[in-house]
Amino acid sequence: MDLPVRLPTSLRAGMMCRCPRCSQGPLFSGFLEVAPSCEICGLDYGFADPADGPAFFVMTGIGILVMGGWAWWAVAVHPPAWQQYLAILVGLLGGCLATLRPVKAWLIAEQFVHKAGEGHWISLGGHGTGGFVIDRRNPRGPGRSSAGR
Could you list the residues that contact Zn ion (CB under 5 A)?
A: 19, 21-22, 25, 38, 40-41, 43
The nearer residue to Zn ion, 43 or 58, going by C-beta atoms, is 43
Instruction: Give CB contacts under 8 A, 24+ apart, made by 91-96.
Output: 91/62, 91/65, 91/66, 92/62, 92/63, 92/66, 95/58, 95/62, 95/65, 95/66, 96/58, 96/59, 96/62
Nearer to Zn ion, 39 or 49 (CB): 39
**Beta carbon of residue 83, minimum distance to Zn ion (angstroms, whole number):** 45
% helix, strand, coil for the chain, step of 5: 45, 5, 50
Q: Given the complex with Zn ion, which of 41 and 74 has the nearer CB atom?
A: 41
User: CA-to-CA distance for 59 and 39, rounded, in angstroms?
Assistant: 31
**Nearer CB in complex with Zn ion: 40/55:** 40
HSE-up (13 A, CA, CB side) for residue 57: 14
Shortest distance, position 23 Cβ to Zn ion, whole Å: 7
Q: How far is the CB of 19 from Zn ion (least distance, A)?
A: 3
- Least separation in angstroms between CB 125 and Zn ion: 42
